[in-house]
Amino acid sequence: KILILDFGSQYTQLIGRRVRELNVYCEIHPFNHYPEIDETVKGVILSGSPYSVRDENGPRIDLSEIKGKMPLLGVCYGAQYLAHFFGGEVGASDSREYGRANLQYVNDKNVLLNGVSQDSQVWMSHGDTIVRLPENYEVIASTSDVENAAYHIQGEDTFAIQFHPEVYHSLEGVKILKNFIVDVCGCSQDWTPDSFIEETVAKLKAQIGNDKVVLGLSGGVDSTVAGVLLHRAIGDNLTSIFVDNGLLRKDEFGSVLDSYKGMGLNVIGVDAKQKFYNDLAGVVDPETKRKIIGKDFVEVFDEESHKIQDVKWLGQGTIYPDVIESVSVNGGPSATIKSHHNVGGLPDYMKLKVVEPLNLLFKDEVRRVGKALGIDSKLLGRHPFPGPGLGIRILSDVTPEKVRILQEADAIFINGLREWGLYDDVWQAGVMLLPVQSVGVMGDERTYENVVALRAVASTDGMTADWVHLPYDFLAKVSNDIINKVRGINRVVYDISSKPPATIEWE
């Protein structure tokens, strides 16, 4: 495997994705908290960082076990680090170097840049520049502004690049990463969904034995794929629980239960709507709502799981980005904006051991694994839906009546996306019920009713997102349908904010 040490760059996860796309297994760890380097580690990549190597409190790492002893690649901050702390000099650049650039010198005899074209387009994003390299460092690529755009330390398998090979705009970035991973590190490209399934099922069998497992299903991709993997490993010793928290989409409880039929997941559906509505009554603050929904879920789940005799394990559909974000919150360098993931949210009194078969996969990999497991493509293609559901899309307090209004509007929007063939172009979509009333006119009557905002975003992992340019005709039709058919709404607006600086949800 390849180890990626994270100094907090927004692009670190992207490096991981690129390595995985080359069918090589990798793990991302904070620079100050990584596992022991054993013989399974074939190479190490140092990420970029929002810090400068010249900052007093910039991230520092002891590389004595790594540098010179195994293949090492520094990217951006990583490149500056390997220059600055080993006898070179890094200074502020005259012009901040961001965006597109073209290489004008490439030593394609160097294994890292083998096959890279002489004027290859690369993507720069840095405020500092490497002014002087240490002795025995050899420049292997330059642009007109950045002389030390890539270098190799002679006598070592250590390389560094100032630009970002992981971003799409570095057109031959994947080639460079492949040169490093395959030719320098010697990794074989055999990490595929089928090999993952085989390994994981065997591991789950060994880990769980004849114990019983209870799994929380949400109807989403992650928990479903986790369920099918567990079922393959332990068969009928798996029981799944699907809770209706009253904040699901219209008709979702029934249709999800239907779609689970015949999959062997042993699903128990629990209608707990009233409990959630009671506990949420009058609560306005978003984080408090999240906490109540989380707590109620655990209580319902706990009560149900106690009905299963001798259950020892709790299965969860946690995926890799959840784990990485949580690590960052607990002392890693990346800043996190909302604390919403389901890692570590389990109270001690449940006394169940946790099993998370997907905690090393990215979302698209989960879908690929799901496909290889034969799960229905309609289920696999479902948009992500937040755990607290419509509870965080009703801005202000939650009431059953507001849920009904929002469910109707949401169903018109989502069904419309399907009917117009737009559903798969959108990563996630939904409707927000705003705590705003506005004046309207219907017939001869003046109305004073609610405003809803439609949200549809394109993204790969929810970390960054852009609003989707839905056709005007479609928006016009949806707006008209919502206002005419959903009593209580007289105005529809479309959210055209990207993330960052906005977020996907409004709360």
Q: Where does this chain bind ligand XMP (CB under 6 A)?
A: 290, 338, 340, 384, 386-388, 428, 462, 499, 503-505
Report cis status (omega within 30 of 0) of the bond before 286: no
Report the distance separating Cα 229 and Cα 357, nearest Å: 8
Smallest separation (angstroms) from ligand XMP to the CB of 377: 20
- Residues forming a β-bridge with 367: none
Report cis status (omega within 30 of 0) of the bond before 35: no
Residue 151 or 320 with smaller CB distance to ligand XMP: 320
Q: Which three-class secondary structure state does DSSP give residue 12?
A: helix
Residue 132 or 340 with smaller CB distance to ligand XMP: 340
Instruction: Determine the longest span between alpha carbons in the chain, in angstroms.
Output: 84
Residue 332 or 386 with smaller CB distance to ligand XMP: 386
Catalytic site positions: 76, 164, 166
The Cα-based distances of 245 to 105, 272, 303, 400 in angstroms read 60, 6, 14, 11
Contact status, residue 254 vs residue 228, Cβ threshold 8 Å:
no
- Which sign does the torsion angle of CA 149, 150, 154, 159 carry? positive
Residue 259 or 503 with smaller CB distance to ligand XMP: 503
Smallest separation (angstroms) from ligand XMP to the CB of 345: 10
Contact status, residue 295 vs residue 387, Cβ threshold 8 Å:
no
Among 377, 24, 364, CA closest to 179: 24
Smallest separation (angstroms) from ligand XMP to the CB of 290: 5
Report the distance separating Cα 320 and Cα 324, nearest Å: 6
Residue 165 or 387 with smaller CB distance to ligand XMP: 387
Contact status, residue 337 vs residue 479, Cβ threshold 8 Å:
no
Beta strands 238-244 and 212-217 are: parallel
Smallest separation (angstroms) from ligand XMP to the CB of 342: 6
Smallest separation (angstroms) from ligand XMP to the CB of 364: 14
Residue 383 or 404 with smaller CB distance to ligand XMP: 383
- Which sign does the torsion angle of CA 204, 205, 208, 211 carry? positive
Quote the tokens at residue 412.
């018109």
Residue 170 or 224 with smaller CB distance to ligand XMP: 224
Instruction: Determine the number of helices (DSSP H) and then strands (DSSP E) in the chain.
Output: 13, 18
Smallest separation (angstroms) from ligand XMP to the CB of 327: 17
Tell me how many degrees the CA angle 398-402-403 measures, rounded to the nearest 5. 85
Residues 6+ apart with CB under 8 A from 262: none
Smallest separation (angstroms) from ligand XMP to the CB of 220: 9
Q: Which three-class secondary structure state does DSSP give residue 337?
A: coil
